[in-house]
Amino acid sequence: MFRLDETTVRKLLEEAGKMLQRSWCPYSGFAVGAALLAGNGDIYTGCNIENAAFSPSICAERTAFAKAVSEGVTDFKAIAIVGGKNREPVDICPPCGACRQTMMEFCDPDSFRIILADRTGRPRVFTLNEMLPMGFGPGNLLEKRIAKAASAVKDIRERVRSKADDSIF
């Protein structure tokens, strides 16, 4: 299992803090910054970007994932998230449901780490599984496809046996 060291945690929180300052949040005033650690050691950053129409807005976490995935990176180890009103960090800023679902798409829920810092900067680390218990992800669909394929194979075998039995008599 992947282990986060203190230096990496501090670096991710520092990068997320820089993104907090770049946030485009003229409507809510709630800025969020994120720093995503890829499996290859690269860090992808993001900030929230609000839009007057609201629906096109994107969270910091999903911005970081979009940057990484658009560059062909899909293996991730951890993400640090900081946020708050007036660009000042709050106690902790957990990811919203849409961001948790995006994490579920690309990350192992048991090993992917979500780093949140309180207003003093003290990190709190969670697994994706702790943040999104019983999350729905690609595995759910793959298992269903495999089960459906296994069922189809079983049906074919039964038909073949049935025809073989018919031809005997």
Active site positions, annotated? 61
CA distance 121 to 73: 29
Q: Which of the 8 DSSP states describes residue 58?
A: B
The number of beta carbons lying within 10 Å of the beta carbon of residue 4 is 16
Run of H or E including 82: strand 76-85
Place of tokens 């679902």: 101
CA distance 129 to 25: 29
Amino acid at 134: M
CA distance 123 to 106: 23
Q: Which of the 8 DSSP states describes residue 41?
A: S
Radius of gyration of the chain (CA): 22
